[in-house]
Amino acid sequence: MTDERITILLSRRIAGELTPTEAEELRLALEKNPDLQTLLSAIDGVKDAAPAPVSGPEEHQMLEGALRQFKQQAAGLRVVKMAADQGGPVETPEQTPAPHFTGWRTRTLRWSAAAVVVLAAVGIYKYKGTSKPPAQSPVSYREVAAKYGTRSYVDLPDGSRLWLNAGSKVRYAQNFADGTRELTLAGEAFFDVKHDPEHPFLIHAAGVDVKVLGTSLNVRAYPGDSTIETTLIQGRAEIELPGKASSPIVLRPNEKVTMRNESQTGNNTTDPDQRATAAHNFERHPVAADPTYKTIIETSWVEDKLVFRKEPFRKVAAQLERWYNIRFHFENDKYLEEELTGYFKDQPIKNVMDGLQLSLGFHYEIAGDSILIK
């Protein structure tokens, strides 16, 4: 049996990976040489000792020391071989006579040197396997909210910017800029994302993920709304459903994608087939500045403009509730689906209601933060 084979069997024996065939092979080798048996007994004694706590620096020193000892022992063996080949003693580079080992004792020294390295690794592995993993530092999050009747502006840690519409909030980790830039949105926000292809920007909103690649876009995903709207102004963005049951929906500049809010309808399923179907239930719409009001309706709120065109009263009422922090009450359903068009900037709620009243002919009463439509 070669020296290399003995070293392999010893290493596998220490690691507990010997096959039955290899175990028999090692047993026969042990029977032929008592020195090898003594060495293996010493190895087992060290391996079975109770492990002591080892710090990171100590672990490094253990490995370095083991390698140094292995190299020193290997250098001695090279000198021994030279002496044997030349028929006499040979001095080391330090002018120290080399010990004259031959036969099995020379091989035992080689196995011992190899075992030093193996035992160092085994000892560290044993310590790590029995010690508790270091406690993970808890992730700290920041949440920014815009209450009803207010809008907010936020500078993100990576240099991106966002504007929050009324009744909206975002949540992101304090180490937001260190890896994948992820945040969760509930409500509506306009994003001006800093281009960084190495660190994707992900927006989680109402069960869908919007992947942004350096762009400006508006995401509208209020929990109470029946639809989710993503409007891309410039750049590139993709909409993905969790589970990636289908290909991402790729948005083009000046385009809006509207899809059903699965979390609102109660169909927020994880079933791949249903998600694949939901992914196809979306509509694309071109986006351009309104010819009358000279503004993009989907993002006009960032400029403090309240704009809607041919929207049913129920949707306008929900928007006004968030914008002015009020509550609407309807005596009946007569006006809920009636369409409204309007443009308001820096107007009190009474002026807005007077304008809508002229359009539909309803009557209303304001009492505190409530408006009754008759």
pLDDT band at residue 197, thresholds of 50, 70 and 90? confident
Q: What gap in Å lies between CA 128 and CA 221, rounded to an integer?
A: 47
Chain segment 238-277, per-residue pLDDT in tens? 998 765 556 889 999 999 999 988 765 444 444 544 444 4
Could you tell me where in the chain the CATH 3.55.50.30 domains are found? 304-373
Q: What is the pTM of this model?
A: 0.61
Higher pLDDT pick, 206 / 7: 206
Q: What mean pLDDT, rounded, does the chain reach?
A: 76
Residues of the chain with CATH 2.60.120.1440: 141-286
CATH class, domain 141-286, is mainly beta
pLDDT digits (tens, 9 = 90+) for 328-370: 999 999 999 999 999 999 999 999 999 999 999 999 999 999 9
304-373, CATH topology level: Phage tail protein beta-alpha-beta fold (3.55.50)
Give whole-number Cα distances, 265 to 135, 278, 319, in Å: 40, 12, 19
